[in-house]
């Protein structure tokens, strides 16, 4: 397991489950049972220790203000507190805080999101504005919103949007190609949030082509807002890094087709085409973009 994976509570839990399953296949049933008992005992031991630390800090009047805020905002610490049922914030509050973190991204695309309900381990959401009618909203939900909620509430297993149009289906495009050729072979991918150099986005209104995680994409700036899209025109299959941006409309230099970057890449005027958006989050001066990465290229866990 890589260092990055070891800091992800959800992946650690999945890895523990896989290892226990492998032991169960090759070991004596009694050894498997003892191994499961060992894992359970260690969980109880560390959980009791963490509880004692929190109780001691609380008795000393320290579990408040900056310390408490820092603990609940740290993804790793927050996940551990949830696992041991020690998190000071209840589930609805944590889900709401997660949505508040991605709200600026959704707002920059003319949309929003609200909690419709939480039932057991399922969160139901209502998408608002352009997010409710844009075919790309399913991508937004899967990447930006889902990650934020699962990081804040690892006990949630499913997230449902009540009013999102299904994503447009069609031939899979090999977006790494610079000549616009297509590739129809399906490739299994997983999404990773990758950092973008702070000086990479355009300083003023405009676009720039970059490569991130082996994928060509464009980063656009309109006013104070940044947007990321795959570097591919769905109308003529040309690259878009030389496109012209006027206010919020991006026009392909090859075919002239226009797309509104504020409305998740919708086609301007007639036409069913739309750009493929990539969730972009700018926090504390850092810029991260959710990029699909081939599973086989991710390396061993």
CATH code, domain with 238: 2.102.10.10
Please give the average per-residue pLDDT across 226-231, as a whole number.
Answer: 89
Contacts for 176 with CB less than 8 Å, ≥ 6 apart: 214, 215, 216
> How many whole angstroms separate alpha carbon 76 and alpha carbon 151?
9
Strand partners, 127: 113
Does residue 300 carry a pLDDT above 60? no
- In this structure, the answer to whether residues 290 and 220 fall within a common structural domain is yes
Q: How confident is the model at residue 271 (pLDDT cuts 50, 70, 90)?
A: low
Contact 196, 239 (CB under 8 A): no
Total structural domains in the chain? 3
Neighbouring CB atoms inside 10 A of 245's CB total: 20
Check residue 48 and give its pLDDT: 93
Please give the average per-residue pLDDT across 39-57, as a whole number.
Answer: 91
Check residue 140 and give its pLDDT: 57
Q: Model-level pTM?
A: 0.54
Check residue 4 and give its pLDDT: 45
- In this structure, the answer to whether residues 132 and 222 fall within a common structural domain is no
Q: How confident is the model at residue 45 (pLDDT cuts 50, 70, 90)?
A: very high
For the sheet with 158-161, list strands across it.
Answer: 111-119, 122-129, 158-161
- In this structure, the answer to whether residues 210 and 289 fall within a common structural domain is yes
Task: Tell whether 59 is covered by a domain.
Answer: yes
Please give the average per-residue pLDDT across 24-49, as a whole number.
Answer: 87
Q: How confident is the model at residue 235 (pLDDT cuts 50, 70, 90)?
A: confident
Task: Tell whether 167 is covered by a domain.
Answer: no
> How many whole angstroms separate alpha carbon 9 and alpha carbon 35?
20
pLDDT per residue as tens digits for the range 73-119: 787 888 888 888 888 889 999 999 888 888 877 766 666 788 989 99
Please give the average per-residue pLDDT across 217-240, as a whole number.
Answer: 88
Q: How confident is the model at residue 139 (pLDDT cuts 50, 70, 90)?
A: low
Check residue 201 and give its pLDDT: 76
> How many whole angstroms separate alpha carbon 191 and alpha carbon 141?
13
Contact 159, 113 (CB under 8 A): no
Please give the average per-residue pLDDT across 278-290, as a whole number.
Answer: 78
Tokens standing for residue 131: 């997010």
More confident residue, 125 or 173: 125
- In this structure, the answer to whether residues 18 and 79 fall within a common structural domain is yes
CB burial of 36-75 (b: ≥16 within 10 Å; e: otherwise) equals eeeeeeeeeeebeebeeebeeeeeeeebeeeebeebbeee
Q: Supply the mean pLDDT for the chain.
A: 77
Task: Tell whether 170 is covered by a domain.
Answer: no
- In this structure, the answer to whether residues 203 and 269 fall within a common structural domain is yes
Strand partners, 289: 194, 280
- In this structure, the answer to whether residues 141 and 200 fall within a common structural domain is no
Q: What CATH number does the domain containing 105 carry? A: 3.30.300.130
Does residue 3 carry a pLDDT above 50? no
- In this structure, the answer to whether residues 279 and 208 fall within a common structural domain is yes
- In this structure, the answer to whether residues 209 and 260 fall within a common structural domain is yes
Check residue 184 and give its pLDDT: 33
Q: How confident is the model at residue 251 (pLDDT cuts 50, 70, 90)?
A: very high
Does residue 29 carry a pLDDT above 80? yes
- In this structure, the answer to whether residues 194 and 291 fall within a common structural domain is yes
- In this structure, the answer to whether residues 209 and 263 fall within a common structural domain is yes
Supply the range of the domain harboring residue 247: 190-297
Q: Give the rounded percent of residues in the chain with a pLDDT score beyond 70.
A: 75
> How many whole angstroms separate alpha carbon 105 and alpha carbon 174?
26
Q: How confident is the model at residue 131 (pLDDT cuts 50, 70, 90)?
A: low
Does residue 187 carry a pLDDT above 90? no
- In this structure, the answer to whether residues 20 and 66 fall within a common structural domain is yes
**SS3 call for 273:** coil
Does residue 173 carry a pLDDT above 60? no
């Amino acid at each position: 397991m890589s260092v990055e994976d070891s800091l992800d509570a959800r992946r650690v839990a999945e890895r523990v489950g896989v290892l226990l399953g492998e032991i169960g296949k090759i070991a004596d049933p009694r050894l498997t049972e003892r191994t499961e008992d060992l894992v359970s005992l260690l969980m109880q031991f560390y959980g009791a220790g963490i509880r004692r630390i929190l109780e001691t800090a609380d008795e000393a009047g320290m579990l408040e203000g900056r310390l408490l805020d820092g603990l609940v905002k740290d993804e790793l610490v927050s996940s551990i507190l949830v696992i041991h049922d020690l998190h000071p914030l209840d589930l609805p509050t944590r889900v709401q805080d997660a949505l508040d973190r991605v709200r600026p991204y959704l707002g920059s695309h003319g949309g929003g999101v609200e909690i419709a309900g939480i039932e057991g381990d399922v969160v139901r959401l209502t998408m608002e504005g352009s997010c409710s009618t844009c075919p790309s909203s399913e991508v937004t939900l899967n990447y930006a919103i889902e990650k934020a909620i699962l990081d804040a509430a690892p006990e949630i297993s499913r997230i449902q949007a009540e009013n999102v149009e299904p994503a447009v289906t069609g031939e899979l495009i090999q977006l790494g190609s610079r000549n616009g050729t297509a590739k129809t072979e399906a490739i299994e991918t997983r999404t990773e949030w990758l950092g973008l150099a702070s000086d990479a986005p355009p300083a003023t209104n405009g676009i720039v082509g970059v490569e991130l995680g082996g994928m060509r994409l464009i980063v656009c700036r309109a006013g104070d807002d940044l947007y990321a899209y795959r570097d591919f025109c769905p109308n003529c299959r040309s690259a878009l890094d030389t496109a012209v941006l006027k206010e919020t409309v991006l026009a392909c230099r090859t075919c002239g087709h226009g797309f509104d970057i504020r409305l998740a890449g919708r086609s301007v005027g007639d036409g069913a085409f739309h750009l493929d958006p990539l969730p972009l989050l700018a926090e504390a001066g850092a810029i991260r973009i959710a990029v699909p990465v081939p599973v086989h290229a991710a390396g061993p866990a």
